[in-house]
A and B are shown apart, each in its own frame.
Chain A
Amino acid sequence: MNKLAAKYLRPSQIPTKACHGCGIGMIENWLLQAIDELGLKQEDVIFGTGIGCVGRQTFATWGGDNFGATHGRALAVATGLKLAQPDKKYLIVVGDGDAASIGTSHLIHAARRNLGVTVICEDNMGYESTGGQFSPTTPAGYVTNSSPYGMAEPSFDPCDVVKAAGATFVAETTATQWHQTVKIVKKALGNDGFSFVHVRFPCNENFGAYALGTRDTLKNLEWIYEHTQGRKADGSESDFTWETGIKHDASNSRPEFSKIMRDVNARVQAEMAAKRG
């Protein structure tokens, strides 16, 4: 176990049941680096997750308090929890199914409310724990086990969705961008409001095998890297490009949800006290 894992994670829950070459553990290590560089302790951070690869492989790894919500509802749970525990940092680590499909309405409204949590959407571009079906973030045309003729629907970018809904920090990165991801997560955690970090990572067993034709981790990472560059290793253009980096930074520009609620209470109680004389 590395130094950061020893400091923040639970030895009994490491290693996880993740497949060989899965990006989830690597990204979690980067989250720990960001937490460590910010000087946060285990008891400062509540770790919430959902269902699917990302939920199953990260739940209970964090050494502090953990919750693993029903599918898609981590942000709904966090909305209530934040009212009771407003001073904690919240890392909501979920997959593309949780954030961009079954739980999207909670994502949108958490952004609208400026709920003080940092969502790390670890996106392996499909439902991989159920065997590799397409999700709303699977690139159009790619073959999965439920799009054998190619993903026919258009995909969407969850960053666009949360930005439109009012998120105060939005960024996109990938499993090929270590230092950028750590920097972004640190900024996200510094926002007392709704932060969304979209991190694409490869699934070798399903997306890699069926959409890209290889279970080779490095080849799958290379495919992601090429799409951040818009160019393949041989110099030809890739079929599309992901713009990574900070997409919207309005950190600390408007009040956080639980603060709004506490302010309402203070105003109502002051008015009551004034009436009583």
Chain B
Amino acid sequence: MTSTLEVGSGTLVAPWTDWARQTTSGRRLLEAGTYALTEGAIAAGCRVFAGYPITPATDIAEYMSKRLPQVGGYYVQCEDELAGMHACAGASLGGLKAMTATSGPGYTLMHDAYGWAVTNEIPLVVVDAMRVGPISGITGAPGQGEFYVARYCTHGGNFETIVLSPCSVQEAFWLTIDAFNLAERFRTPVTILTDQVVSDMWEDLFVPADSDALDFVVPRTSNLMMPFFPVGSADLDVAPNVIGRGTGVCVSAYTHTEEGYDIEEMEAQWAQTYRLVNKIRHHRAECTRYETLGLEDAEVIAVAYGANARTVKTGVVEARRRGVRAGFVRPITLWPFLDELYAADRHYVVCELNYDGQLVREVMRAAPDKAKVHFMGKSAELHTVAEVVAGLEGVIRTGRVPELPYIWTEVR
């Protein structure tokens, strides 16, 4: 599923490098990230959007309300985000691909439905366009505060999640199709963790002419027989369950048997956990998407995702121009976490849009030497190229990120 494209001296590992080569007939537009997320979903076969408007994801709802009736789909503006994601889960159980979109305050409300969809193995896609917080924060400013929230998107533990993050309008389009594909193959909700900048910015966008002809879209299939829940198995590509076809399927919030019956036994809990965790862990390679640049000779590697990766990458290119042996890693798959990207014993400078230090903690865990993992946290505004260059130069010359206004470096 994953192909590789050399970009300058960089590498992009993602299935859409092939998709872009294959798909030549289409329209070139100047459009917003929200438009790309919407059209990507429609191209992937999404036919239900249920959600609640929230900045900066509102335009997805508006675009969906216009587009879905045109393609025989349904836009439901729900009473709240709880209803939105539950309605998506219901639609998906009925056999229709579904998506919802929100920002942090709504994503928090979805944790109830997220757990229900995880445990019942319901494919659907959730977009979280992150803004700076906590809570309402600044509605029109980017943040990256939900890195861990997206991983631990519901209570109770005993599950893995798939989380992807695009860095451009075009990538948002392809990545949305990819998210739907992964949701179908893994029978699980997939979060697209984007941000206010990618959502709101307008860029060059190619949209294929005929979305019905995209043979890389994983179609919806329906599981019409037992076992409804292959507990104890890590199998991929198990057809999702369907309600309304008379199979006698049972889905619920409880620990379940393979029939879907509620059960209060340790062995059953273990078998369900094995399924929910290992269907993803055993197939991590199917989820691996990332971009790198200059790793072959890098002494210091900048790490960033989402919109922030744009200025950070430019900072790396600028640092290299100045003679700093700098490299760049952009994880597109945030979860399951790609430990292998940090296997080399190098300095890492993790740039993210929060002062807590979230991504950096995982890089510290994965990298050979935690002392060589540095943090450049910023909030509500992308890192400037100058800040990134100063950070990379500082690490090479002095072993640490220099003091810079608005940049926090402490990880506690």
A-side residues, CB < 8 A to B, are 10, 12-13, 42-43, 46, 51, 56, 59-60, 63-71, 73, 76-85, 88, 105-106, 108-109, 261, 264-265, 268-269, 272
Q: Which residues of A contact B50 (CB under 8 A)?
A: 79-80
| Bound CA–CA A108/B93 (angstroms) | 23
Chain A residues in 8 Å Cβ range of B89: 77, 80
Smallest Cβ-Cβ distance to B80: which chain A residue: A105
Q: B248: which A residues are within 8 A, CB to CB?
A: 10, 42, 63-66
What residues of chain B lie closer than 8 Å to A63, measured between beta carbons?
248
- A83 and B80 within 8 A (CB): no
B76–A79 CB distance below 8 A: yes
Which residues from B are CB-within-8-Å of A12? Answer: 261
Binding stretch for chain A, among B35-43, B169-177, B252-260, B295-303? B252-260
CB atoms of B86 and A70 under 8 A apart = yes
- The reply to whether B244 and A77 contact each other, CB–CB distance below 8 Å, is no
- Within the complex, which residue of A64, A73, A261 is in contact with B74, where a contact is CB–CB below 8 Å? A261
CB-based contact A83/B69 at 8 Å: no
- Some 9 contacts from A to B, beta carbons below 8 A apart, are A59-B250, A65-B246, A73-B83, A76-B78, A77-B87, A79-B83, A83-B94, A84-B93, A84-B96
Alpha-carbon distance A64/B115, docked complex (angstroms): 24
Q: Assess whether B253 is in contact with A51, with CB atoms less than 8 Å apart.
A: yes
List chain A residues, Cβ under 8 A from B76.
79-80, 83, 261
User: How far is the CB of B227 from the nearest CB of chain A, in Å?
Assistant: 15
Contact of A69 among B79, B86, B249 (CB under 8 A): B86
Chain A residues whose C-beta falls within 8 Å of the C-beta of B252 in the assembled complex: 59-60, 66-69
Instruction: Tell me which of A42, A56, A268 has the highest count of chain B C-beta atoms within 10 A of its own C-beta.
Output: A268
User: Could you tell me which residues of chain B, from 97 to 115, have a CB within 8 Å of some CB in chain A?
Assistant: 98, 112-113, 115
Which residue of chain B has its CB nearest to the CB of A264? B69
Would you call B45 an interface residue if the criterion is a C-beta within 8 Å of the partner chain's C-beta atoms? Answer: no
Whole-angstrom CA separation of A77 from B260 in the bound complex: 17
- Bound state CA distance, A172 and B228, in angstroms? 37
Tell me whether B94 and A81 are in contact (CB under 8 A). yes
Cα distance A63–B261 in the bound complex, in angstroms:
12
Given the complex, which residues of B lie within 8 Å of A51, measured CB to CB?
253
Chain A residues near B261: list those with CB within 8 A: 12-13, 60
A198 to B95, CA, bound (A): 31
Q: B370-401 CB contact bits vs A (8 Å, 1 = yes)?
A: 00000000000000000000000000000000
Interface check B90, CB cutoff 8 A: yes
Distance in angstroms between the alpha carbons of A141 and B87 in the assembled complex: 38
Instruction: Report whether B244 and A81 are in contact in the complex, using a CB–CB cutoff of 8 Å.
Output: yes
- The reply to whether B244 and A88 contact each other, CB–CB distance below 8 Å, is yes
Q: Does B164 contact A (CB under 8 A)?
A: no
B69 touches A268 (CB 8 A): yes
Cβ-based interface call for B157 (8 A): no
Given contacts A66-B250, A109-B83, A272-B70, contact A83 B260 (CB under 8 A): no
Identity of the chain B residue whose Cβ is nearest the Cβ of A10 in the assembled complex: B248
Determine the interface band of chain B, counting residues with CB < 8 A from chain A.
Answer: 35 or more
A268 to B83, CA, bound (A): 26
CA distance A265 to B91 in the complex (A): 17
* B116 CB–A CB distance under 8 Å: yes
Is the pair A77, B93 in contact by a Cβ cutoff of 8 Å? yes
Between B73, B248, B249, B260, the greatest number of chain A beta carbons within 10 A of the residue's beta carbon is seen for: B248
A159 vs chain B, min Cβ distance (A): 20
Judge whether B82 and A67 touch: CB under 8 Å: no
Q: How far is the CA of A269 from the CA of B83 in the complex (A)?
A: 28
Residue contact A81 to B243, C-beta cutoff 8 Å: yes
Q: Of all chain A residues, which has the CB nearest B96?
A: A84
Taking the complex as formed, is B262 at the interface, i.e. its CB lies under 8 A from any CB of chain A?
Answer: yes
Q: Is the CB of A80 within 8 A of B253?
A: no
Cα distance A64–B245 in the bound complex, in angstroms:
9
Best-surrounded residue of B69, B70, B116, B260 (most CB of chain A within 10 A)? B69
Could you tell me the distance in whole angstroms from the C-beta of A106 to the nearest C-beta in chain B? 6
A83 adjacent to B48 (CB under 8 Å): yes
Contact of B87 among A43, A65, A76, A268 (CB under 8 A): A76
- Give every chain A residue within 8 A of B245 (Cβ-Cβ): 65
Other A-B pairs, 10, CB within 8 Å; known A68-B262, A269-B69, A269-B70: A13-B261, A65-B244, A68-B252, A68-B254, A76-B83, A77-B86, A80-B76, A81-B93, A85-B244, A108-B79
> Is residue B72 contacting chain A, with contact meaning CB distance below 8 A?
yes
Residues A80 and B70 in contact in the complex (CB < 8 Å), given A51-B253, A60-B261, A70-B113: no
The CA of A82 and the CA of B244, in the complex, are separated in Å by: 9
Contacts of A13 in B (CB 8 A): 261
Question: B88 an interface residue at 8 Å Cβ cutoff?
Answer: yes
Bound-state CA distance A123–B198 (Å) is: 48
Chain B residues closer than 8 Å to A82, beta-carbon distance: 90, 94
What's the least CB distance linking A276 to chain B, in Å?
12
Which of A65, A69, A81, A83 interacts with B253 by CB under 8 Å?
Answer: A69
Partner of A56, one of B73, B78, B262: B262
B112 touches A79 (CB 8 A): no
Chain B residues lying within 8 Å of A261, measured Cβ to Cβ, are 74, 76
Distance of A78 Cα from B243 Cα, bound (Å): 11
Check if B136 is an interface residue, CB within 8 A of chain A.
no
The answer to whether A46 and B115 touch across the interface, beta carbons within 8 angstroms, is: no
Quote the shortest CB–CB distance from B125 to chain A (angstroms).
14
Do A79 and B260 contact each other (CB < 8 Å), given the known contacts A67-B243, A265-B69, A269-B69? Answer: no
Instruction: Kindly list chain B residues whose C-beta atoms are within 8 Å of the C-beta of A85.
Output: 94-95, 243-244
